[in-house]
Structure 1
Amino acid sequence: MAERWRRDSLRDRARYLFDTTLARSTGTLLGWLAVCCLAVVVPVSALLVWTDPNAPSTLPGRLTAVWRTSTETLRLGGATGAPLRMLLSALLGLIALLCVSTLIGVITTGLGERLAELRRGRSTVLERDHVVVLGWADQIHTVVGELAAARAGRGPAVIAVLADRDPAETETALRAGLRDLVDVRLVCRTGSPTDPGALALVNPAAAASVLLLPSERADADLEVVRVLLALRTVCGDEPGPPVLAALRDRRYLPAARLAAGPRGTVLETDLTTARLLVQSARSPGLPAALRDLLDFAGAEFHVLDVPEAAGTPFAELALRFETACVVGLLPADGRPLLTPPPETVVGPRDRLVVVAHDDTAVPAFDGRAYVDPSAVAAPGPQPQEPARTLLLGWNRRAPLVVDVLRRTARPGSVLHVLTGGPDPGALPDAGRLEIVHHVGDPLCPETLRDLDVFGYDSVLVLGPDTGAGPERPDDRVLLTLLTLRSIEEDTGRPLPVVAELCDSRNRALAPLGPASDVVVRGELTGLLLAQIAHDPALAAVFDEVFAVRGGALALRPAGHYVRPGREASFATVAAAALDRGESAIGYRAGADADGVTLCPGRTERRVWAADDEILVVTAAPAGADGTLPGMRRDQHEGDSPVGASSG
């Protein structure tokens, strides 16, 4: 040990001396810098002089040459002569170097601070008719991507994003997750959307629309209300742009609607997700069809002004367009009427609700000539059998799912709930639905086999809420799906499973069977926000589509409309659907097809197989749940998942 101390002591002491000297002051640091520079410049200058054939032959001459070379290198002046003269020249050179360095430092610091300020996104956006997105959530990629797709071919669009994160990271993350942003200019700003000062940076008063993205924080709904109040503060008494917000708990819905003002639309995301889960359980394949309807890649819902349609019965109007499927009317009072009775006459101020590939005017067409009455299937009674449903897992949306099942159940229906803990204690009164609670782990194959999962008409899989455990919410859903898939492979029988996921990226990881599907609630919220931002009139339409009463989407067997094995046009299918009080908007070629063909041409002909399915918009029968179609708003407050604010 003593030998090692003696061997390393000189080096260690020198290093320690150097470190402590540098730490004393800035002057000491400058002194060491000068010493190091001289230690390099002077020897190299001497080497240059001594290796120069034209250098002076005398030693004083060569030393003078070394002095000049060194001073020129260090920019200290090159005066020669008396030592005092050389010292004053070096002093002036040092002063000049200090002044220039200080000036450069001031300029560099100022520019750096300005660039840092710009990078932090603190300048005010001067755009007009832009789209403002407030907050950062998983669905922001869906929202921005769909907004960009909606503006494709219509000139460059400006999307301003305000989030409490670094704007450079925000733009990088958006462009990395979205490849097709050629015609979109992203303007990212940093700050809390609840701060009026930060909110003013994105100029919401001049925007075409403002979207509030819901977060997964425990106080997310309260934050939505605060942001809406901040918007009112920034926009003042002016009407302001259309505002779209989403919240989870319906207790905050009245307050959010009041804060949003008369041009605000508030989506109740949990209730919308619950209703979609139930609809998907009853119509397998519906989530994929709904994704096709809500994105801007193909056909989607539009509201069109067609003055020449006034005075025309709905049955005739529905077959008048070749490339658009008319599904309802939007009267002047803003309450849409989907799939109205065939004899309903279009009023002079009524707008048409259509499914089409764009929102341009559609040319007139007479599809009645392509209807083949001999291919129409004879109408038969709709099955009214009770349903058996298995619910695996529990979260804050589970009571809403149970309530929707209860309110729409046929007499004799059964719901079995399997959770890993005691009775959830949030099950509503049974009514027409028998509810049975089981305690067990959905990840255990023996537990599922004891329940005889193949004895249910549908299986719903829910994950825990965000923050309810150490794992991510989708992890448990994926494990449950893997367990169900193993049971399918062991028995060789398909299971009708519908699972709820939070992150759309996990859809590709989900081990789905041939009869399984997933509902991504964040993606659904993002698609709805983008659609309504593009056309605010669609808020009332989606109000009907996702309601327990009123219009709904469904996949029906093609045999309900046309004779299996017969070749017929889609106009024939549409006419048969109208006779049953439905509007056909597409078809799925076989139950195993990946997607739905939306808005096919009326003249398109094909041989309809027994496993083909027709996508229809249908109205609930009169008296369902004690109400008539189109009367939801007259029942109880908050029944609609997509609610237009009343100021």
Structure 2
Amino acid sequence: MAAAAVTPAEQGAGVARRVSLADRARYWFDTTLARGTPALVGWLALGCLVVVFPASAVLVWTDPHAPASHSGRLAAIWRLTGETLRLGGATGPLVHVLLSVLLALVALVYVSTLVGLITTGLTERLTALRRGHSTVIEQGHAVVLGWSEQVFTVVSELVAANANQRYGSVAVLADRDKTTMEEALSRKVGTTGRTRLVCRSGPPTDPDLLALTNPGEASAVLVLPQDDPSGDPEVVKTLLALRSALGEEVGPPVVAAVRDDQYRLAASIAAGPRGIVLVSDAITARLIVQSARRPGLSLVYRDLLDFAGDEFYLAFDPALTGRSFGDTLLAFATSSVVGLLRDGRPLLNPPPRTLIGPRDRLIVITRDDDTARRSDCSGLVDESVMTPWQLASARPERVLILGWNRRASLVVGQFGRYAVHGSVIAVVADRKEVTAEEVQQTGTDFAPRLTTTFRPGDVTRPETLRSLEIDSYDSIVVLGPDPLPGQQPNEADNRTLVTLLVLHLLEQENGRELPVVTEMTDDRNRTLAPISPGADVIISAKLVGLLMAQISQNRHLAAVFEELFSHTGSQVQLRPAASYVLPGCEASFATVVAAAQQRGECAIGYRCNDRATAVPDHGVRINPDKSERRRWNEHDEVVVITQD
């Protein structure tokens, strides 16, 4: 039997019938609360009376000494209620009772307001202390201005640099909550040992707030680049604020970094003669290209740039004055000589016959600033196992770039400077990121020796990569997209990880490891990537942070790194060990150094192929003892500083 239809009016009546009395009471209560503070005070008073008055009545009625009359007991209940609620509780004529209640309310308002003012004042004072508004009284400390992904690397390296110091401190000023900064640094930096971290909250572009870090007494000031690509003007403003805070004083050395080269001149002018400005995008692009052409080079730079191992220092020994630079290469057993500092200008890998002047300083790679001790190692050289020198000829290169971002044109430009006739760069990216005309334009300056091609496609799809004949390329560069406005920088790594998964699938299908260089923004994503432990992964934020920390400890290193990362001058290279010693023969590292010196190179270490995937060094050994002996095989590589 069909059910009778229910009209909308009947439905509405049913809904009305379902509204209970409790629902109506709750709705009325919520409505009164929405009227503001008076309603809240009224409900609070009513709630207290509902509890206090019955409880007072019970106490009075159960008291054997209570008055016998009802009026007396009501007066006793009123006195007890008034004392509990601080309403005086006076009895007598009505006027007397009302006045006593009025005075009690005035006293209550006064006391409550006084307590509120005191509480507010203390809260504001504690909040100001938590925000860090007091002036730092440290001396010889490092000042870090700004907050970005580099801050954790920079602070970690400064802590490591202070490890052998009796006392050190690092002051951080950023427009973030002081407690939030302290918690983040504690979580990511870990134990700081003897180094004290001091955080101050406020914009570094304000000279008055910047003065809280006491920059005039600092050993170095580091101005971090912003995570936002459009943040370079903030770096310039911070440098101007620093100059305003320091005045005309000489001041400490200043190390700053911008992303775009167009802001380098403005930042250099703002920093003044004490300042050194790095361009992070250009440095990242150079290392990507160098690592693509010489796999494993990023691991060498990571070892050279952090304070955990051996790094660059300046050394002086009067006994070496007047001797040739070539003689110094075997004059230190536990240090590697790589150049000279002459009149404030570094000369990396100068001609072996260059004489050392009395004011020259040696540029060495060593464990610490006091470990470069002279020790003749020429007796460790075995010339019988040296390989005759043969000049290697350059050959065309085929490079595949997957993805596109603001650094991609710099990467193409760096490849173009090294290219020989017949070299090819193929770009595969989404049309939303780049067009064929833009790709062609980046390679125009290097035609005809370099050909650039563009193919639109989604680099996260297997069918796109399968159609590229990946095995025909000498190197593959995976670039992540630029972060969108409001997007976290590390979110750009998501697509990179997917692309690496597809490349890993192709490796399994082909049974061959692909020569991949990957750019990432977050070092934590490196452990998630499906790549070998020794693969080249360029973390731009970490790289720039390491450079800034190194230069802050010795400003002369800025010119050293500038040359190492340039396309002219001397560079770090990985060369086959068979070019220096006979494969299968046992020889000391001093023999390798001597063989490299005959070719006009400075050998500073090696990479053992058998340990390429072993953590943490991945087979890379920088600055080994000259007396160290090992059997060299044809897959080993020697790390040298040389002209490319």
TM-score by length of 1: 0.87
Q: Which segments of 5 or more consecutive residues in structure 2 lack a partner in the other structure? A: 1-11
Given the alignment, which residue of 387, 390, 393 partners 1:377? Answer: 387
Distance 2:103 2:534 in 1: 87
Are positions 1:603 and 2:634 aligned together?
Answer: no
Given the alignment, which residue of 510, 521, 529 partners 1:502? Answer: 521
- Higher mean Cα deviation, 503-512 or 57-66? 57-66
- Who is 1:103 aligned against? 114
Are positions 1:460 and 2:477 aligned together?
Answer: yes
- Who is 1:434 aligned against? 450
Whether the aligned pair in 2 keeps the contact of 1:384 and 1:410 (CA below 8 Å) is yes
| TM-aligned CA deviation for residue 450 of structure 1 | 3.7
Are positions 1:451 and 2:468 aligned together?
Answer: yes
Are positions 1:329 and 2:353 aligned together?
Answer: no
What percent of counterpart residues are identical? Answer: 52
The CA deviation string for residues 307-366 of structure 1, in whole angstroms up to 9 with x for no partner, is 44322322222222222111111112x221112222222211111211111112433212
- Higher mean Cα deviation, 230-239 or 471-480? 471-480
User: 1:555 aligns to what SS in structure 2?
Assistant: strand
Aligned length: 618
User: 1:401 aligns to what SS in structure 2?
Assistant: helix
Over 3 Å counting, the alpha-carbon distance change for 1:237 and 1:40 in structure 2 is same
Whether the aligned pair in 2 keeps the contact of 1:402 and 1:428 (CA below 8 Å) is no
AA aligned opposite 1:369: G
- Higher mean Cα deviation, 545-554 or 305-314? 305-314
| TM-aligned CA deviation for residue 12 of structure 1 | 5.3
The CA deviation string for residues 232-273 of structure 1, in whole angstroms up to 9 with x for no partner, is 222222222211111233233222222211111111222211
- Who is 2:252 aligned against? 241
User: 2:445 aligns to what SS in structure 1?
Assistant: coil
- Who is 2:130 aligned against? 119
- Higher mean Cα deviation, 435-444 or 555-564? 435-444
- Who is 1:311 aligned against? 322
| TM-aligned CA deviation for residue 191 of structure 1 | 3.0
The CA deviation string for residues 8-67 of structure 1, in whole angstroms up to 9 with x for no partner, is 575456545545555556455434323322221232334445556x65484667666655
Whether the aligned pair in 1 keeps the contact of 2:416 and 2:446 (CA below 8 Å) is yes
- Who is 2:3 aligned against? none
User: 2:451 aligns to what SS in structure 1?
Assistant: strand
Distance 2:405 2:28 in 1: 64
Q: How does 1:203-282 map to 2 (within 5 A)?
A: 203-282=214-293
Are positions 1:408 and 2:400 aligned together?
Answer: no
Distance 1:264 1:312 in 2: 34
| TM-aligned CA deviation for residue 394 of structure 1 | 2.4
Whether the aligned pair in 2 keeps the contact of 1:377 and 1:561 (CA below 8 Å) is yes
Given the alignment, which residue of 168, 171, 178 partners 1:160? Answer: 171
The CA deviation string for residues 59-97 of structure 1, in whole angstroms up to 9 with x for no partner, is 667666655554443345576777776666555544433
Given the alignment, which residue of 553, 556, 562 partners 2:581? Answer: 562
- Higher mean Cα deviation, 198-207 or 290-299? 198-207
Given the alignment, which residue of 145, 150, 160 partners 1:139? Answer: 150
User: 1:601 aligns to what SS in structure 2?
Assistant: coil
Over 3 Å counting, the alpha-carbon distance change for 1:329 and 1:219 in structure 2 is same
Distance 2:38 2:413 in 1: 76
Given the alignment, which residue of 551, 564, 585 partners 1:545? Answer: 564
Distance 2:374 2:562 in 1: 29
Over 3 Å counting, the alpha-carbon distance change for 1:387 and 1:525 in structure 2 is same
| TM-aligned CA deviation for residue 147 of structure 1 | 1.3
Distance 2:620 2:62 in 1: 85
| TM-aligned CA deviation for residue 528 of structure 1 | 0.6
Are positions 1:419 and 2:429 aligned together?
Answer: yes
Distance 1:176 1:236 in 2: 36
The CA deviation string for residues 154-173 of structure 1, in whole angstroms up to 9 with x for no partner, is 14433222223323222222
Whether the aligned pair in 1 keeps the contact of 2:412 and 2:442 (CA below 8 Å) is no
Whether the aligned pair in 1 keeps the contact of 2:332 and 2:372 (CA below 8 Å) is yes
Whether the aligned pair in 2 keeps the contact of 1:392 and 1:461 (CA below 8 Å) is yes
Whether the aligned pair in 2 keeps the contact of 1:280 and 1:287 (CA below 8 Å) is yes
Q: How does 1:294-305 map to 2 (within 5 A)?
A: 294-305=305-316
Are positions 1:342 and 2:342 aligned together?
Answer: no
User: 1:118 aligns to what SS in structure 2?
Assistant: helix
Over 3 Å counting, the alpha-carbon distance change for 1:48 and 1:500 in structure 2 is same
| TM-aligned CA deviation for residue 470 of structure 1 | 8.2
| TM-aligned CA deviation for residue 376 of structure 1 | 2.4
- Who is 1:632 aligned against? none
Over 3 Å counting, the alpha-carbon distance change for 1:603 and 1:210 in structure 2 is same
Are positions 1:521 and 2:537 aligned together?
Answer: no
User: 2:345 aligns to what SS in structure 1?
Assistant: coil
Distance 2:500 2:178 in 1: 38
AA aligned opposite 1:461: V
Over 3 Å counting, the alpha-carbon distance change for 1:79 and 1:272 in structure 2 is same
| TM-aligned CA deviation for residue 419 of structure 1 | 3.4
Distance 1:246 1:341 in 2: 33
Distance 1:483 1:3 in 2: 60
Whether the aligned pair in 2 keeps the contact of 1:589 and 1:612 (CA below 8 Å) is yes
AA aligned opposite 1:212: V
The CA deviation string for residues 192-228 of structure 1, in whole angstroms up to 9 with x for no partner, is 3333344333333332222122124343333322222
Given the alignment, which residue of 99, 117, 129 partners 2:140? Answer: 129
Whether the aligned pair in 2 keeps the contact of 1:406 and 1:432 (CA below 8 Å) is no
AA aligned opposite 2:571: A
Are positions 1:287 and 2:298 aligned together?
Answer: yes
Whether the aligned pair in 2 keeps the contact of 1:410 and 1:432 (CA below 8 Å) is no
| TM-aligned CA deviation for residue 388 of structure 1 | 2.3
Over 3 Å counting, the alpha-carbon distance change for 1:470 and 1:186 in structure 2 is closer
Higher relative contact order (CA 8 A, sep 6+): 1
User: 1:451 aligns to what SS in structure 2?
Assistant: coil
Whether the aligned pair in 2 keeps the contact of 1:403 and 1:428 (CA below 8 Å) is no
Given the alignment, which residue of 592, 616, 636 partners 1:612? Answer: 636
Over 3 Å counting, the alpha-carbon distance change for 1:275 and 1:32 in structure 2 is closer
| TM-aligned CA deviation for residue 569 of structure 1 | 1.9
Distance 2:51 2:504 in 1: 73
Whether the aligned pair in 2 keeps the contact of 1:497 and 1:515 (CA below 8 Å) is no
- Who is 2:55 aligned against? 44
Given the alignment, which residue of 317, 334, 356 partners 2:366? Answer: 356
Distance 2:486 2:129 in 1: 39
Whether the aligned pair in 1 keeps the contact of 2:336 and 2:366 (CA below 8 Å) is yes
Whether the aligned pair in 2 keeps the contact of 1:338 and 1:619 (CA below 8 Å) is no
Over 3 Å counting, the alpha-carbon distance change for 1:50 and 1:559 in structure 2 is farther
Given the alignment, which residue of 369, 394, 401 partners 1:391? Answer: 401
Distance 1:410 1:20 in 2: 80
Given the alignment, which residue of 585, 588, 595 partners 2:607? Answer: 588
Whether the aligned pair in 2 keeps the contact of 1:495 and 1:513 (CA below 8 Å) is no
Over 3 Å counting, the alpha-carbon distance change for 1:30 and 1:399 in structure 2 is closer
Q: Which segments of 5 or more consecutive residues in structure 1 lack a partner in the other structure? A: 621-647
Whether the aligned pair in 1 keeps the contact of 2:428 and 2:455 (CA below 8 Å) is yes
AA aligned opposite 1:132: V
The CA deviation string for residues 490-517 of structure 1, in whole angstroms up to 9 with x for no partner, is 0101211112222222211222258842
AA aligned opposite 1:372: D
Over 3 Å counting, the alpha-carbon distance change for 1:101 and 1:292 in structure 2 is same
AA aligned opposite 2:473: Y
Over 3 Å counting, the alpha-carbon distance change for 1:602 and 1:280 in structure 2 is same
Whether the aligned pair in 1 keeps the contact of 2:88 and 2:101 (CA below 8 Å) is yes
The CA deviation string for residues 553-577 of structure 1, in whole angstroms up to 9 with x for no partner, is 1112222222222222222222222
